[in-house]
Structure 1
């Protein structure tokens, strides 16, 4: 009997949940831009984690470059 309540983008929600959901959605979409992370081909998890950290670093670097311009 529990109904999921997700706020629309940019709108306030009574409990405050879901008001910043676009940040998570955008980050996941940016991570999927990297092909090696979209489908995991590596059998070793440490290599996959290294690619994930590299992708996060590149995303942060690009955001910092855009804010400094």
Structure 2
């Protein structure tokens, strides 16, 4: 009976670990803090019961917010077009409408 070989790593660049983890109050528990510390990552978790001025909300996911704004357009919520160029044109049109609305509200406030 032969001894199984150890699992080899994938070739290429090793994966980089993040230095910090930012999360909201839903993850404020010692279990999650311990798990993150095991991987040598510094957790920045908002504490429960603290005010919203704790500074955790400074870092936001820009891509998630942009996708959320694009989902306001029914045609972009579910992709119906088979051709990529037509779908890309609708995404560009949606981005243009979002920018126009932001510009219009900024000009109205000024």
Scaled by the length of structure 1, the TM-score of the pair is 0.71
Query: SS of 1:6's equivalent?
Result: strand
The answer as to 2:52 corresponding to 1:36 is no
Rounded Cα–Cα distance in structure 1 between residues aligned with 2:104 and 2:73: 19
Q: CA RMSD in A?
A: 2.8
**What runs of 5+ residues in structure 2 fail to find an aligned partner?**
1-16, 25-51
Runs (4 or more) in structure 1 with deviation over 4 Å come to 7-10
Residue 57 (1) aligns with residue 96 (2): yes
Unaligned runs of 5+ in 1: 13-17
**Kept in 2: contact 1:30–1:59 (CA 8 A):** yes
Q: Return the alpha-carbon distance in structure 2 between the equivalents of residues 51 and 42 of structure 1.
A: 10
- How far is 1:20 from its partner? 3.5
1:7–1:19 Cα contact (<8 Å) kept: no
Identify which range, 50-59 or 3-12, moves more after superposition: 3-12
Higher strand share: 2
**What is the SS of the residue equivalent to 1:5?**
strand
Task: Determine the structure 2 residue equivalent to 1:5.
Answer: 21
